[in-house]
Amino acid sequence: MGIEIDLPITYTYSTCLDLNGDGDPGLLPPSIDDCQTKECYYAMKTYLLSLENTKDGGDKQELLNDLYNSPEALATYQKYIAASPYLTDDVLKEVAQSTTLSPSRRTNILIANSPLSDEMMNLAYQNVSPSVYQLLYTLKYYLKISERDRLDMRIGDYADKKENLLRQLLNKFTDQKDYVQLDDLLNTENNTFALL
């Protein structure tokens, strides 16, 4: 036996679920596969750039400068931790080899970016204590794939989708003989692939 509830007169019943919680029942954001416009392409390009900027906190040179100029500053350590787990091997090499960075901070940064690549594991072996190396080794062989690797996979996947959309748009504008749109897209892309 069910319980009857009186609904307000203004309530509109819909059999669709509010999947996004935005009050618009049954609608999901458009799939990237449904993206077929130049504006959508530009949005994809911007998103891909933001993914790329996730690496090294968006400014590798600033991180390295901080490590060279003020390795013991708390702000330097906090920047490195904030950029983790997306520090690249170039930056991690400098961290592992730094003689001015305290061993505990160096260890924390390396652990925050674990599992490390094979090259970084070899470098760590030479620059950290045996107990820290054992911890890094354990993390590497239990976690298998790092967040950096996952980010690189997302970037690669999204770059492929962006390039496919670029090809589709180039073909579409060529077929429609819309040379203004075609020229605009090529100038905005400004890379060897687009100009071929």
Residue-wise pLDDT tens for the chain (196 aa)? Answer: 445 555 455 545 444 444 444 444 444 444 555 677 888 888 888 888 889 999 998 999 999 999 999 989 999 999 999 999 999 999 999 999 999 999 999 999 999 999 999 999 999 999 999 999 999 999 998 888 889 999 999 999 989 988 888 888 888 888 888 778 777 878 777 655 555 5
| Predicted local distance difference test score (pLDDT) of residue 195 | 52
How far apart CA 128 and CA 126 sit, in angstroms, is 6
The radius of gyration of the chain from alpha carbons, rounded to an integer in Å, stands at 25
Question: In sequence order, what are the residues at sequence separation of 6 or more whose Cβ sits closer than 8 angstroms to the Cβ of residue 25?
Answer: 14, 16, 17, 18, 19
| Predicted local distance difference test score (pLDDT) of residue 155 | 92
| Predicted local distance difference test score (pLDDT) of residue 169 | 86
How far apart CA 92 and CA 64 sit, in angstroms, is 10
| Predicted local distance difference test score (pLDDT) of residue 36 | 78
Question: In sequence order, what are the residues at sequence separation of 6 or more whose Cβ sits closer than 8 angstroms to the Cβ of residue 59?
Answer: none
| Predicted local distance difference test score (pLDDT) of residue 192 | 55
How far apart CA 55 and CA 151 sit, in angstroms, is 9
| Predicted local distance difference test score (pLDDT) of residue 29 | 42
